[in-house]
Amino acid sequence: MRKVLFVFQIIVSLVVITAAVIQITGLHPKAVNVAVPMVGLMLLLQGIGNWKNDRAAAITGFCCAGFIFVVSVVVFFS
């Protein structure tokens, strides 16, 4: 299970880095709308990975991911 989470974290990290480069270079001015939810997904994956070892860190990660998702939806629809 940890290897699968690790692979997903690498994939999401690459998407975030790609979206950041696209945003910085100005190729797509709304690329941040993709990058921010992916950061939330990364926190969610880290929370799942930390659940057995450190529940406090996992719960904090889940709360931060939820906050990021809510803010992303509000910004997207405003």
Q: Give the model's pLDDT for residue 76.
A: 85
The pTM (predicted TM-score) of the whole model is 0.87
- For residue range 26-36, list pLDDT tens digits in order: 999 888 888 99
- Quick one: tokens of 43? 């926190």
CA angle 40, 33, 59 (to 5 degrees): 10
What's the distance, Cα to Cα, between the start and end of the chain in Å? 38
Q: What is the DSSP secondary structure assignment for residue 73, as one 8-state letter?
A: H
pLDDT category at 22 given cuts 50, 70, 90 is very high
- For residue range 37-50, list pLDDT tens digits in order: 999 999 999 999 99
CA distance 61 to 55: 10
Phi, psi of 26 (to 5 degrees): 85, 15
Q: Give the model's pLDDT for residue 65.
A: 96
